[in-house]
Amino acid sequence: MSKISYLNDKFINFKDAKIHVEDRGLQFGDSIYEVVGFVNKNFIDINFHFQRLRYSLKELGIKYNFDNKKLMNIFYQLINKNFLKNGLIYLQITRGVQPRNHVYKKNLKPTVIIYAQTKSFNLPNKKFKGVKVISYPDLRWSRRDIKTTNLLPNILAEKIANKKGAYTSVLIKNNKITEGAHSNIWIIKKNIIFTHPVNTDILKGVTRTALELIIKKSGFKLNENSFTMNQFFNADEAFLTSSGSLVTPILKIDKNLVNDGKIGKITLKIAKLYFEKFSNENLKN
């Protein structure tokens, strides 16, 4: 559990981190966020996170300019102040505080919330594991490419997944899989890797972005097209990706086993390549 957090330019005790009752992030979900993984105190795909953060701020018109190095310094201080080695940094930026009104005022001062928490990652070693997922309707708003805190549909989907003993939910729109409730979804068929194209139907995952480059460099064939539930059921392999899950094999969806419930060879190879990539980058830093 985090003991020290960062709120509006100050490091304070986590239990004392409070925001105003009329903060627009609280009342309207008028805010964006990022979740950054770190292993051995080194950040994973940090530059991709900063790129997406700027994109989300720009798309919502939230006026917050930041310097990569200064923000990374805050992250490092939180890791050290909380005596963490492996975990996640949570960063949220709201539009700010004003009397409750749907129309926001210009030049509001954003609220900045940052804290760290410990996490054990699913790494491609002897303990590498696959997961069960369920299908669920995609009920989210139409700008899923912006990483906002408007996550109620995701929460409802994850509660159902939890009740059914599943790791997460896979979201379906017009019989096509868009993505997971907090991940991007991939299938493999006849050595071809499929995942949904980048558009407003999905969030451009940071791990997805990094993995796309790895896949192309490694000689695998990548097909960025949406796929149906039947294609998922008939896939040779499947996996999901996110900053918290990294590359995690999918062994079962609903009542259907994938690859007889075993981790596939290509999935394992991709997971190892990704792990090697961020491990090597950390060694350089």
With H, G, I as helix, E, B as strand and everything else as coil, classify residue 131. strand
**Catalytic-labelled residue, pool 63, 85, 147, 262:** 147
Q: Is-catalytic flag, 147?
A: yes
Active site residues: 147
